[in-house]
Amino acid sequence: MPTRTDTTTTTTIASLPVDPSHGALRPLALSQVTIDGGFWADKQSLNASAIIAHCEAWMEKVGWIGNFDAAVEGRLPADRAGREFSDSDVYKLMEAMAWEIGRTHDDTLDARFRALVARIAPVQEADGYLNTRFGRDGQQPRYSDLQWGHELYCYGHLLQAAVARGRTTGDDEFVQLARRAADHVCDVFGVGGIESVCGHPEVEMALIEFGRYTGESRYIDQARLFIDRRGHGVLGDIELGSSYYQDDVPVRDAEVLRGHAVRAVYLAAGAVDLGIEDEEDGLVDAVAAQLARTVARRTYLTGGMGAHHEGESFGADFELPSDRAYSETCAGIGSIMLNYRLLLATGDSTYADLIERTLFNVLATSPAADGQAFYYTNTLHQREPGSIPAADVASPRASSSLRAPWFDVSCCPTNVARTLASLGSYFATSTAVGLQLHQYAAGTVSADLASGRVAVRTETNYPDEGVVRVVVTETLTDEWTLSLRVPHWAGEAATITVDGETHSAAVGMVHIRRPFAVGDEIVLSLPVEARWTEPDPRIDALRGQRAVERGPVVMCLESTDAGHVSTVDEVRVTGDLRDDDGVVTVGTRRLTVSDDAWPYGVDSATLDADTARVRLLPYHSWANRGPSTMRVWLPLESADSVSTGR
Amino acid sequence: MPTRTDTTTTTTIASLPVDPSHGALRPLALSQVTIDGGFWADKQSLNASAIIAHCEAWMEKVGWIGNFDAAVEGRLPADRAGREFSDSDVYKLMEAMAWEIGRTHDDTLDARFRALVARIAPVQEADGYLNTRFGRDGQQPRYSDLQWGHELYCYGHLLQAAVARGRTTGDDEFVQLARRAADHVCDVFGVGGIESVCGHPEVEMALIEFGRYTGESRYIDQARLFIDRRGHGVLGDIELGSSYYQDDVPVRDAEVLRGHAVRAVYLAAGAVDLGIEDEEDGLVDAVAAQLARTVARRTYLTGGMGAHHEGESFGADFELPSDRAYSETCAGIGSIMLNYRLLLATGDSTYADLIERTLFNVLATSPAADGQAFYYTNTLHQREPGSIPAADVASPRASSSLRAPWFDVSCCPTNVARTLASLGSYFATSTAVGLQLHQYAAGTVSADLASGRVAVRTETNYPDEGVVRVVVTETLTDEWTLSLRVPHWAGEAATITVDGETHSAAVGMVHIRRPFAVGDEIVLSLPVEARWTEPDPRIDALRGQRAVERGPVVMCLESTDAGHVSTVDEVRVTGDLRDDDGVVTVGTRRLTVSDDAWPYGVDSATLDADTARVRLLPYHSWANRGPSTMRVWLPLESADSVSTGR
């Protein structure tokens, strides 16, 4: 089984989530990036100690893993549990386990992984077909419902899990099982086979990565067929419109991401992969242009994507209501996957900007502090305190005021788990002549350049503090380039200190090219202090409002911290914003509307004369203290024409 | 078959849509109110000449009427067409026909009605069950899916059609068929029967009205059972939550309308009916309080209800985004039905205010100018021009940028038809001592007071003009009271002229009590000139925006009339509003945002120095000139902190 031929390492397995055949930047493997302190190390620890086990326990409890036993024992369809695509979550859990095993070499976890393989393997049929929901007596026939059946989507997650397993542990029974499934897909959906696609894109990027991993072009050819077929109405119209599953316009012709947000970003990620492998720059450029427009017009301040609950979908340009922000956790993760592929392809740091934003404000928001509950949707405005989801029953609803332990559709928890387990790869890259740090955390990065290995150690309390100290720990005699990202949000206020000399550092990548010595220290200083953020005037939902951000972290007002009002919707902010070593407060006045009658045309609102200072907290940590109301965007006291008590 | 015992007429059939046993006001029959000129006469003509025939032709075309033939011929379920509740639309068409036959005595229409009865009657089973979707070999069993099966909902529309038929034409085969169905419902769902309810409320008000019509208390008892059972989780939880079908809280305990908007208003209307028949003031008061809060916090400027596409449902308080206004036509009609019942119960003119608003801005908006296409949803903000729905295929989508000829779920066109056919009854009422005019149109109204018949003729070009001239055409020797509604929107500017003397007329009902002579003229003068309307500052979606209303008519800006911009979203309005004999124009500046990058934090917007006057048009008439963008709420030029070219 071929693995990536690294310039200098041929003995270690390259544990790469994504391994393009070419591109501006080369990905680093999990073994080359460690995060050992601070915000993301804590999240990775939470994943290791709680989230992965939580997902596994719940899928045992609700019977999604048991579906495979039921298949072996001939108890299907009678005993089948879960939605038609529940197999996919078992695979996504296994992908998380596989990366985690690669990261921590946890033998116990490896035994659990093997136990799952032992239960799944017997379910695979002789021709490679593997699905607990279709094809048996009493079940719908195989591939009889491509719109909603998700069989190819399930294979996609199986293949991604197999890539993780193969690249961390090596070829094994599970990887071979996946290869049989991939061959089956090519047999059935290849040239001369079923000329259609899956309602939920996912198998495209999975086939390509599996092709990269195995070296088999057949899988990439199959992904190309799927990508080329989609967009021509092959799936038929539905109530939500064929844009729901991106079957309205071919991916090369589309102008913007649209429809179901997770489907859209997964498809786009697969299209970038295909463009890279086919060296079809036009395809990569098309997706990049779609993403650029999506980021400019259809993305929340948090990086979240998807404004509609209906269809879990993107809205129109500038249709970004805070209170109906669907911003599915999986869409955020898919956006990170897409942006990472474009970062590798182009080297453009704006992709890393959006990755950072989405990591801190979507991915980090989903899991509760204890890792036992998750947000599926990530609203930017909670109007009603709502209630606590049941602790022992899967939630039938994607949205709730508090995180739920599990969902009837529970794609998000396992997606969080696999992303946290493979997080290191998103933090740094290399080229033949340099090392690039895109995300900042205490830890180490090493890379094999054309002329040898280099390594750095980073010390930082980012994002609480803005100082990032990078020390060279392994170097070359030749000069090489250390590049650090200056985030877009830093404006003109970032500085970099090299050899005791401080320079201003413009947004983008700051490159330090020289013959480094071990012990050389570079200090990047980022202005993380809290700042006001204004919305684009075309976003109707945000008119007259301001948000507060602190470094890459979006702040919010939770009612728990605003005792002078009954709901955050009564708050109007003054211009007074303070940041006292990370304690962020704003001045507020309370809005009172005395009447409760026809709400148009008569104005009886007043603003309190007194102001109250209230503390803001990072959006990612809201709703850990019981039911509450919350706003990211805060109306200005001057926004409404109200009489004031001043 | 008993009919209403009117004080003075026992020979005519009282063609009353709603006939409560008591209340502050007495309804007038279709025969007592004629509308013979102007806005609503045109709509009634459109209904007679186009809409009813359109609905009938489409239901033949798509096979919903044919389902009954298929049942007789044993071709079900193989040949069944349409959704599970398609029978209901055939009944709603028949209700429209029945009222229209009562209104116009159209023999041809009567023959078409009888032809439908002849096709439906043989489908009814021996025990009264009647439904083309359930109970046959190969179909789901009867009442096996109360959440979504809608069998009782279909009976509800059957009974309402039978009431219309009975009250306009008299007892006939169709009414007897309906009685057997109603008896069947009582047999199966009565005490000791299935202790549940229908997922879609509707049968409650239908059973009560059928009970009123037949004089059988059994039907009212059954409605009481349904209303009492609901709200205790009898239907089980679903993804949308049990509030979707109002099974979360008993109707007497609820604080506000919530969940699926049509379900909510239909249930509330039935609850008012029950409260009246049971003389349970607490129930009527509870619903009135729920409606009051709903009107104050969950209703659009148009009177439209329902902010969410997901679940076709109400949002939270003050969650009223223009661009996602679902505002289903049927929810508006249900609101009219509910408000009419509360108007009759209480005499409070605020209910007639909302009826007027909803008539002009929801009901009148749905049908296209030619009566051949309809809005299902009624958005207040069209962001993208969109496309024209196919003329020969039912639309799978409720929302579109232009009206569609038919829908896969086509509840709205037939609901429009039955409402227009019975519209007169909503316009005026009587008491023992007086006549009340709630809505204004050219036409006649007569009523039988305790001491005899009175009648008036109204001449007006309302709402284009504000003068309403009421002339007494039949009177009594005793004094009696003529009451006219002064709409809430008139503020303090309405006047009334009696005997040549003009007085200011306060909002509410103005009462003129005296011994009228034939020929006496009362002139109500309403300030219909265009005015600015401000939103409640708690509605986030409307901050910094103003609407224009003209009399009861909500105005809008359609891109067709604003050639200086590519979309109405580029428009910012100055304070300059003019109304030149009904030609309404506003001053606007064009907003330009030069960049297309991350939309938060950097502001590059400018406003043109020049202003352009653009014409506004009544919201109800938008989208009759091809694809366009449209806004009801217009951002103020001062709303965004942008630099101006001035």
Say yes or no: A26 contacts chain B, CB-CB below 8 A.
no
Say yes or no: A533 contacts chain B, CB-CB below 8 A.
yes
Say yes or no: B348 contacts chain A, CB-CB below 8 A.
no
Say yes or no: B601 contacts chain A, CB-CB below 8 A.
yes
Say yes or no: A535 contacts chain B, CB-CB below 8 A.
yes
Length of chain B: 646
Rounded Cα gap, residues A456 and A463, in angstroms: 19
B544/A544 CB distance under 8 A: yes
B544/A639 CB distance under 8 A: yes
Q: Are B21 and B274 in contact (CB under 8 A)?
A: no
Each residue of A311-345: b (16+ CB within 10 Å) or e? bbbbbbbbbbbbbbbbbbbbbbbbbbbbbbbbbbb
For A488, name the nearest residue in chain B, comparing CA atoms only.
B598
pLDDT of residue A11: 40
Give me the amino acid identity at A73: E
pLDDT of residue B387: 84
Rounded Cα gap, residues A219 and A199, in angstroms: 19
For range B577-583, the mean pLDDT? 97
- pLDDT over threshold 60, residue B214: yes
**Residue A138: Cβ-neighbour burial (10 angstroms; 0-12, 13-18, 19+):** exposed
pLDDT of residue A640: 74
Say yes or no: A289 contacts chain B, CB-CB below 8 A.
no
Select the residue of B237, B540, B598 nearest A488 (Cβ to Cβ): B598
Peptide bond into B77 cis (omega under 30): yes
pLDDT of residue A605: 85
For A595, name the nearest residue in chain B, comparing CA atoms only.
B296
Rounded Cα gap, residues A137 and A415, in angstroms: 32
- β-partners of residue A166 are none
The predicted-structure confidence for B341-384, as pLDDT tens digits, reads as follows: 999 999 999 999 999 999 999 999 999 999 999 999 999 999 99
- pLDDT over threshold 70, residue B4: no
Say yes or no: B51 contacts chain A, CB-CB below 8 A.
no
- pLDDT over threshold 80, residue A338: yes
Q: Rg of the Cα trace of chain A?
A: 25
Place of tokens 């301040």: A301
Rounded Cα gap, residues B50 and B196, in angstroms: 40
For range A153-170, the mean pLDDT? 98
Q: Is residue A76 within a helix (H) or strand (E), and if so which, with residue range?
A: none
Query: Within the 220-259 window of chain B, which residues sit less than 8 Å (CB to CB) from chain A?
Result: 237-241
pLDDT of residue A114: 98
Q: Are B523 and B469 in contact (CB under 8 A)?
A: yes
A383/B316 CB distance under 8 A: yes
Calculate how close chain A gets to B388, using CA atoms only, in Å: 14
- β-partners of residue A546 are A634
Rounded Cα gap, residues A92 and A344, in angstroms: 24
Query: Within the 458-487 window of chain B, which residues sit less than 8 Å (CB to CB) from chain A?
Result: none
pLDDT of residue B602: 63
For B549, name the nearest residue in chain A, comparing CA atoms only.
A601
Chain A residues within 8 A of B238 when measuring between CB atoms: 396
Chain B residues within 8 A of A533 when measuring between CB atoms: 600-601
Calculate how close chain A gets to B75, using CA atoms only, in Å: 24
The predicted-structure confidence for A169-192, as pLDDT tens digits, reads as follows: 999 999 999 999 999 999 999 999
Work out the percent of chain B whose per-residue pLDDT is above 90: 92
pLDDT of residue A603: 64
Select the residue of A296, A545, A603 nearest B597 (Cβ to Cβ): A296
The predicted-structure confidence for A276-314, as pLDDT tens digits, reads as follows: 999 999 999 999 999 999 999 999 999 999 999 999 999
Q: Which of B296, B291, B292, B303 is nearest to B328 (CA)?
A: B303
- pLDDT over threshold 70, residue B641: no
**Could you tell me which residues come within 8 angstroms of residue A66 by beta carbon, excluding any fewer than 6 positions away?**
A60, A79, A81
Say yes or no: B433 contacts chain A, CB-CB below 8 A.
no
pLDDT of residue B642: 57
Peptide bond into A77 cis (omega under 30): yes
- β-partners of residue B634 are B546
Q: What is the pTM of this model?
A: 0.95
pLDDT of residue B645: 43
Chain B residues within 8 A of A301 when measuring between CB atoms: 600
For range B597-603, the mean pLDDT? 83
Chain A residues within 8 A of B317 when measuring between CB atoms: 383
A541/B538 CB distance under 8 A: no
For B488, name the nearest residue in chain A, comparing CA atoms only.
A598
Mean pLDDT of chain A: 95
Q: Is residue B495 within a helix (H) or strand (E), and if so which, with residue range?
A: strand B495-498
Give me the amino acid identity at A613: R
Q: Which of A106, A112, A74 is nearest to A90 (CA)?
A: A112
Q: Are B530 and B584 in contact (CB under 8 A)?
A: yes
- pLDDT over threshold 80, residue A541: yes
- pLDDT over threshold 70, residue A251: yes
pLDDT of residue B14: 81
Confidence class of residue A6 from pLDDT cuts 50, 70 and 90? very low
Calculate how close chain A gets to B88, using CA atoms only, in Å: 21
Chain A residues within 8 A of B387 when measuring between CB atoms: none
Chain A residues within 8 A of B566 when measuring between CB atoms: none
Within 10 angstroms of residue A491's Cβ, the number of other Cβ atoms is 14
- β-partners of residue A612 are A588
Say yes or no: B605 contacts chain A, CB-CB below 8 A.
yes
Lowest pLDDT segment from A505-509, A641-645, B183-187, B459-463: A641-645
Calculate how close chain A gets to B306, using CA atoms only, in Å: 14
The predicted-structure confidence for B308-330, as pLDDT tens digits, reads as follows: 999 999 999 999 999 999 999 99
Q: Are A593 and B536 in contact (CB under 8 A)?
A: yes
Confidence class of residue B596 from pLDDT cuts 50, 70 and 90? confident
Rounded Cα gap, residues B138 and A475, in angstroms: 76
Rounded Cα gap, residues B387 and B154, in angstroms: 33
Mean pLDDT of chain B: 95
**Residue B519: Cβ-neighbour burial (10 angstroms; 0-12, 13-18, 19+):** exposed
Say yes or no: A393 contacts chain B, CB-CB below 8 A.
no
Confidence class of residue B601 from pLDDT cuts 50, 70 and 90? confident
Say yes or no: B321 contacts chain A, CB-CB below 8 A.
yes
pLDDT of residue A506: 97
Select the residue of A301, A323, A534 nearest B319 (Cβ to Cβ): A323
Query: Within the 156-195 window of chain A, which residues sit less than 8 Å (CB to CB) from chain B?
Result: none
Rounded Cα gap, residues B309 and B315, in angstroms: 10
**Could you tell me which residues come within 8 angstroms of residue A100 by beta carbon, excluding any fewer than 6 positions away?**
A47, A48, A52, A106, A109, A421
Q: Is residue A584 within a helix (H) or strand (E), and if so which, with residue range?
A: strand A583-593
Confidence class of residue A5 from pLDDT cuts 50, 70 and 90? very low
Residue B182 CA, chain-centre distance (Å), reads 25
For A570, name the nearest residue in chain B, comparing CA atoms only.
B538
pLDDT of residue A638: 86
ipTM over 0.90: yes
**Could you tell me which residues come within 8 angstroms of residue A15 by beta carbon, excluding any fewer than 6 positions away?**
A29, A30, A31, A99, A102, A103, A167, A168
Structure tokens given for B573: 């309005």
Calculate how close chain B gets to A532, using CA atoms only, in Å: 8
Query: Within the 559-578 window of chain A, which residues sit less than 8 Å (CB to CB) from chain B?
Result: 569
- Interface A-B, measured as beta-carbon pairs within 8 A, has a size of 177
Rounded Cα gap, residues B576 and B554, in angstroms: 17
Calculate how close chain B gets to A290, using CA atoms only, in Å: 12
Confidence class of residue B603 from pLDDT cuts 50, 70 and 90? low
Calculate how close chain B gets to A567, using CA atoms only, in Å: 11
pLDDT of residue A642: 57
Provide the Cα torsion B283, B288, B294, B299; round to 10°: 130
**Could you tell me which residues come within 8 angstroms of residue A368 by beta carbon, excluding any fewer than 6 positions away?**
A374, A403, A624
pLDDT of residue A641: 64
Say yes or no: B493 contacts chain A, CB-CB below 8 A.
no
For range A102-117, the mean pLDDT? 97
Confidence class of residue A386 from pLDDT cuts 50, 70 and 90? confident
The predicted-structure confidence for A80-91, as pLDDT tens digits, reads as follows: 999 999 999 999
Q: Are B526 and B462 in contact (CB under 8 A)?
A: yes
Calculate how close chain A gets to B298, using CA atoms only, in Å: 9
Structure tokens given for A494: 């970032």
